[in-house]
Amino acid sequence: MPFQLTPMDLHMTELERDIIREILNIGLARAADSFAVIAQEKVLLEVPNLDIVSGKSVLEKVGDLQASHVVIQSDIRGDFNGTTLMFFSGQHVQRLSRVCLRMNTSDSVQIDEMQESLLLEISNIITGALVTQLANILKAHIYGAPPAHPHGDMAAALRSLLVDRPMVQPLIFSVVTQFSDKENSVELPLMIFFDRDTFEKILEIIRTYDFMGGHQAGS
């Protein structure tokens, strides 16, 4: 189910929302090709919805997801400042462990070192492709830091960032994964947090860019 999230005071038009979603989808299409090599099957990754949410709402969502998912975190650095969180469900862990590691496991989020390394690599591929696509299209110098598997309460760790610093605007979207057998589509939640300055930079670039002509308006 798509997230039901509350818009904030930093608004996007529907066109701007569609443009950002399309940029993300292009990046995910490239990520899916690399992911498919690991999964040894055709993989579909796409962004069905895109929302800006309040700090309180995202803390509740992170808390709910962490209870039933493995969390992988990666920071975005350079011209843009942000953090990505990927949430792998027990179904993801079970499927990927069987296909990639030849391990028959339950759909548990209690993972061993090999499974952790696999999820870190998949997260690195997916978030790396997204960051590269954002950098290419928005003409920004950004890169993704190596992913990590954080332990402890993620919601508590994010509280100071989102509640005590309300200028941070989380940009949230869901990624739907589908394997080639088409029997199962399992949502793979992916959250991106940008500070307000970064998000305003992205919107300004989009608003001044002539996408048909391939250059910034007025240049």
The strand pairing partners of 74, in sequence order, are 84
Report the range of poorest mean pLDDT among 103-117, 164-178, 183-197: 164-178
Interatomic CA distance for residues 93 and 105, integer angstroms: 8
Which helix (H) or strand (E) covers residue 69, if one does?
strand 69-78
Output the average pLDDT for the chain.
77
> Could you report how far apart the first and last alpha carbons of the chain are, in Å?
42
Range 149-157 average pLDDT: 77
pLDDT by residue (tens digit) across 100-122? 888 888 888 889 899 999 999 98
Range 33-55 average pLDDT: 74
Interatomic CA distance for residues 105 and 96, integer angstroms: 10
Number of H helices, E strands in the chain: 6, 9
pTM of the predicted model, to two decimals? 0.78
The strand pairing partners of 67, in sequence order, are none
Interatomic CA distance for residues 189 and 114, integer angstroms: 22
